[in-house]
Amino acid sequence: MGKVDILISEVGPRDGLQSITNIMPTAAKKQWISALAAAGIREIEVGSFVPASVLPQLADTAEIVAHGLTIEGLQIAVLVPNLRGAENAIASGAHKISIPLSVSETHSLRNVKRTHAQMLEEIARIAELVNSQPAHKRPHFEVGLSTAFGCSLEGPVSESLVVQLAEASLKAGCHEVGLSDTTGSANPAQLRRLIDKVWSAVGRDKLTGVHLHNTRGQGLANALAAIDMGITTVDASMGGIGGCPAAPGASGNIVTEDLVFMVEAMGLKTGVNFNALCAARELFAAAMPNTELYGFTPMSGLPKGMEIN
């Protein structure tokens, strides 16, 4: 596999599915993940190690990780809410584990029932566990700074708090932080400013990825701003699945298919074959016929004369 300029981290199987009530059968998830990998996707967040009672959709995460690990060259990422989840993630053999640390403490209390201080203690415990693993079994450990661009409960969040929490997370022993626009509130100017501030505080190598939502249609513009800055990993979900069922058109993550078109059209390599990506979309659509899919390029096709492979 050749080098890529932009790593598209597909989060549909986790962030996309988690807000969808209809449970996707485990066999269909495996086929979908295989199809995504066959299309050239190099990293997939395949699930969350949370109690099955909380998220029945992701109850098969360990089995999905095991399947993903059979696919050569595919980086398998999972989300964990706490130390217990991290233990399970390490046991599963996932290559990368992420924990959300919400910059809005109100959101943190609502989401994981922990204050910032409590979350930082948990992050330190996870880091200790991660870093005590032998090198070949040690996952990459990232803290995702969620609601970093605004919170639907608190409103605007302080940019210096984002920077402080990035510093504190790294001090607690994580390997990297990410910036997450959980509520789809970000704008390109804010992204550039915040990336710059975090880089100044912790170094460019400690923040290489962003996680964006398309709630206000700003997803690709924000991705462009981040890529222009030098961000090299961009999360996206196939068909922009996820989002809030109460807000029609308010999609979830940014759409993988349209992101791949943008990045490749700009002359940057993603490693993705566009037709094979559309085949993976078809496969998902067949397995989950009641899930609305977003994205324009799969319907319009590529511009005449263009190929992405």
Separation between Cα atoms, residue 266 and residue 163, nearest integer Å: 31
Angle at alpha carbon of residue 127, lines to 123 and 128, rounded to 5°: 120
Residue 174 known to be catalytic: no
Task: Please give the distance of CA 244 from its chain centroid, rounded to a whole number.
Answer: 17
Expressed in angstroms, the distance from the first to the final Cα of the chain is 12
| Residues 109-148 within binding reach of its own copies (CB under 8 A) | none
**How far is the C-alpha of 231 from the C-alpha of 221, rounded, in Å?**
14
Q: Rule CB under 8 A: is residue 151 a binding residue for its own copies? A: yes
- Choice from 82, 194, 294, 308 touching its own copies (CB under 8 A): 294
**269 contacts its own copies (rule: CB under 8 A):** no
Per the structure block, which two tokens stand in for 284? 């998902």
Among 56, 91, 249, 309, binds its own copies (CB under 8 A): 249
Number of residues located near its own copies, criterion CB under 8 A = 46
Residue 218, burial from CB neighbour count under 10 angstroms (0-12, 13-18, 19+): buried
Q: Could you give the CA distance from residue 94 to residue 246 in angstroms, rounded to a whole number?
A: 33
Assess 215 for contact with its own copies (CB under 8 A): yes
Residue 223 found at the interface with its own copies (CB under 8 A): yes
One residue of 224, 229, 279, 285 binding its own copies per CB under 8 A: 224
Q: How far is CA 76 from the centre of its chain?
A: 11
Q: Which stretch binds its own copies (CB under 8 A): 92-100, 116-124, 129-137, 184-192?
A: 184-192
Q: Is 23 in the site for its own copies (CB under 8 A)?
A: no
- Give contact residues for its own copies (rule: CB under 8 A): 150-156, 183-185, 187-190, 214-218, 220-221, 223-225, 247-251, 255, 258, 261-262, 265-267, 294-297, 299-300, 303-306
